[in-house]
Structure 1
Amino acid sequence: MKKWKKWLTTIVTSLSLCVVPAAMVSAASTVETLLYGAAAMALAKQQLMQMDNTQQQKMLANTKSQTGVVDNEAYSDRLENIQRNLVATGLIQRNYDVYANPSKDLNAFETIGGVISVNKGMLDALNDDELAFTLCHEMQHGEKRHAVNGVLKSIGISTLVDVSLGGNADVLDILLGSVAVNYIDNEFVTMDQEKQADALGFNVLKNSGYNVGGAAASMEYVYEKYGELWQEGFKRIISPNNHPQMSSRIEKLAGRMSLWSGNHVQVGGSTVYVNAQPVVTPAAAGDYSSRRRAFLVAGNLARATHDVYGEAPKENQVVTQTLNKKTPSWNVAAKGNDVYVNDLRIMTCASGDDSPAIVKNIQQALEAKPAMLSKKEIQKQNKAWTQKYGYKDKKEKNEKK
């Protein structure tokens, strides 16, 4: 690292050896500055990658000192168990240190060193299927080194150029270390990184034993508490959007669930469809809205049809041929408050759920000709649901009173 200034100087000197007209001197100076910036950025990324790979315990200690830690073994055990199950898929390549912090907000983050922290508020609000997707998402930030790119973005090329021209390697070390430690407060993720973490995270989830409906259900709960988390108009200029619109994320995750089901299972609004037939609109229960429960019910049904048909190759194509090329046999039954399909628990009926009707509807739909609702129809139902039941800002509610 002590030779980095010599390396940068060699690059720029090689350019300066070229004979150029006097009129191009100022332009050359600009080019030199750009070269310094590119070289400094490359070197900074190299050092951050080394920190990301080798300084996990240091980053863990620093991050815990900033966020605090929940002193409760139940939270630690729950996170460790879910992490272990996700690693068992063979799709997680890095080693992660996961812990719970005491914040009551619905959030989680991954930072340099493969450190993942989940807010207590998130742990208290989500079930294991939903929380599993949260960890899948954050682990994909780590797998793709998004934190490294976020730190580089937060520093900026101009700062790195100033440091490189100063020729002090120690300053670069201190700068990178300081920003990396404080990265959790900056949240310099990009929209593309969030979309990638959602897509790759779902891929891990579907290869685990968790309910794939937990992905959309977890985002649905965040939406119900915080809304779209999206700025419009002038606000977007002041505070640019770095996360996709929540309704868009929910729709895409629900679409991936349907694809995994062979496109036999869908959710429109808060109604679960099997082969384009409505089978249940779950009643709200406790903190679980009708729509949130619908995603979880659909996720279990998706596993039942996936085991028979496999995953659909396209979002508008229903799989009609079974994996074993035999006509499927469906046995839908209620056992107490639980509804099962071929011994797979689909849902636990709450007050307001009509168990006999649900059993009958699912049985008929599974035996029906393979079909699906169009994307346009699903979007129409989602829009109608959002207009009627969607997020309403508390300030807006108070103004109407």
Structure 2
Amino acid sequence: MSTLRYKGSAVLIKIIIVLLVNITFVFPHAYAFNLVNLGGALIGITAQYAELNKSIDYCDNKGRNEYFAKMKKQYGVDTDPVKNEILKNIVTRLSAAIAQNDPSINEKPYNYFVNKDKNFNAFCSLGHNLSVNSGLFDLLKNNEDEIAFVVGHEMGHGQENHIKKGIKKSLPINIIASVWGSQAGSTLEVMGIDVLVKQADASIVTKPQEWQADNLGFTYAVGAGYNPGAGAAVWQRFIEKMGQYRSNFVGEIFSPSDHPSEIDRRDNYANKLTKYSNGHMTVKNGIIKINGKLFMQAASRQIMSGRERAYLIAGAVAAVYHNNKNIPDAYVGSNGYIYMGDQDICIPIAGEESAQTLVDRINMIK
């Protein structure tokens, strides 16, 4: 327990007492507030902080597996083999990428599971305990590249201890609520593991933390070999499919003044895609440009809009520019795909120009 935390408790106590004394002075016959009982409750605040911090630290470290078991019981487990295999592969690849620069992940590897919730969501809680909603896999059609950016975002929260910091930051609100509750004869509640697990998916991260998690998620995902355009593609799909009934990632609320908007997040990922390509690739409204010149306009197919698809195609080309000093020529493979060196770019669909036309254009403007 830090000195600052104790001072914060003392200030809180003083504020409440001053308010209550003033109310009593103005309304001398109002006895709704029992100052004797209140005094006893306030004396326990410092102890409450200490106990709550113990619970948080326990769930984040020594008791994280116990916390994880209760998370699974709280939210339910989806045993779908396809979804679980995708999540296992993603966490394995992302963890390896993170470990290259942050080996601490090896000391506290992530626990993870697919939960039964059909809403579009994922969350990382205390102790590197992570869960992805079944509904997120459904909305993204089990697209591993796109799901990896969501999971990478959550692991960004985990690596930076955003959830632990957020819970501790919210403590004063919980303490005040407990103090007022004590006026009705209740006692200050000690929030243990059973209470904390119910807050596993709570929205307690800040706007800067959301941006940090997005940026880290991009680094983790591309470091693990996922499509650099998939982050922008996720948000494009989210915007198109969810509309006013959307449900965001952990920490998100619907007020743009408090958290990044969906469009801002998509555009942030699109800008990162351009930077990743060393400035060669841009995407806007489904139009892909290379070196400022039109490459193609992506068409829609049954399960994906042209705008979403454009980010994925551009991501594949961006990887070529990022990984090669000498950009290889494009060609049409025997399977009908467009390739640049060993990198598959796309296979044209109805509404797009032929593979050979697009190959000729790439080689002219690259």
TM-score bracket relative to the smaller structure: 0.7 to 0.9
5 Å matches for 1:1-400? 44-45=52-53, 47-89=55-97, 90=99, 91=101, 93=105, 94-124=108-138, 125-157=141-173, 159=175, 173=190, 175-184=191-200, 186-227=202-243, 240-241=255-256, 242-308=258-324, 322=325, 328-335=326-333, 336-354=335-353, 355-366=355-366
Residue 156 (structure 1) shift: 3.0
Q: 1:204 to 1:284 in 2, by over 3 A?
A: same
Residue 352 (structure 1) shift: 2.3
Structure 1 residues 143-166: Cα deviation after superposition (integer angstroms, max 9, x where no partner): 112222332344434616967xx9
Q: 1:344 to 1:34 in 2, by over 3 A?
A: farther
Which sits farther off after the overlay, 249-258 or 72-81?
72-81
- Structure-2 separation of matches of 1:228 and 1:245: 13
- Structure-1 separation of matches of 2:259 and 2:115: 22
8 A Cα contact 2:44 2:188, kept in partner:
no
Q: 1:159 to 1:274 in 2, by over 3 A?
A: same
Structure 1 residues 286-328: Cα deviation after superposition (integer angstroms, max 9, x where no partner): 22110111100111111100012xxxxxxxxxxxxx4xxxxx2
- Structure-2 separation of matches of 1:348 and 1:98: 34
- Structure-1 separation of matches of 2:55 and 2:116: 31
Residue 203 (structure 1) shift: 1.2
Q: 1:227 to 1:194 in 2, by over 3 A?
A: farther
Count of matched residue positions in the alignment of Structure 1 and Structure 2: 318
Residue 356 (structure 1) shift: 2.1
Structure 1 residues 222-247: Cα deviation after superposition (integer angstroms, max 9, x where no partner): 111224889xxxxxxx9755531000
Q: 1:340 to 1:61 in 2, by over 3 A?
A: same
Equivalent AA in structure 1 for residue 277 of structure 2: S
Which sits farther off after the overlay, 148-157 or 120-129?
148-157
* Structure 2 unmatched ranges of 5 or more: 11-20, 22-40, 247-252
Q: 1:339 to 1:63 in 2, by over 3 A?
A: same
Q: 1:154 to 1:286 in 2, by over 3 A?
A: farther
Q: Secondary structure at the match of 1:54?
A: coil
- Structure-1 separation of matches of 2:327 and 2:218: 28
- Structure-1 separation of matches of 2:281 and 2:53: 44
Residue 40 (structure 1) shift: 6.2
- Structure-2 separation of matches of 1:158 and 1:117: 25
> Equivalent residue for 1:18?
none
Equivalent AA in structure 2 for residue 358 of structure 1: L
8 A Cα contact 2:48 2:188, kept in partner:
no
Q: Secondary structure at the match of 2:209?
A: helix
* Structure 1 unmatched ranges of 5 or more: 13-25, 27-32, 231-237, 309-321, 323-327, 367-401
Equivalent AA in structure 2 for residue 334 of structure 1: V
Structure 1 stretches of 4+ moved >6 Å: 33-40
Structure 1 residues 342-381: Cα deviation after superposition (integer angstroms, max 9, x where no partner): 1210112222222222212211121xxxxxxxxxxxxxxx
- Structure-1 separation of matches of 2:254 and 2:132: 24
Which sits farther off after the overlay, 113-122 or 150-159?
150-159
> Equivalent residue for 2:32?
none
Equivalent AA in structure 1 for residue 62 of structure 2: T
> Equivalent residue for 1:325?
none
Residue 73 (structure 1) shift: 2.5
8 A Cα contact 1:282 1:294, kept in partner:
yes
8 A Cα contact 1:41 1:152, kept in partner:
no
Q: 1:337 to 1:351 in 2, by over 3 A?
A: farther
The RMSD of aligned alpha carbons is 3.6
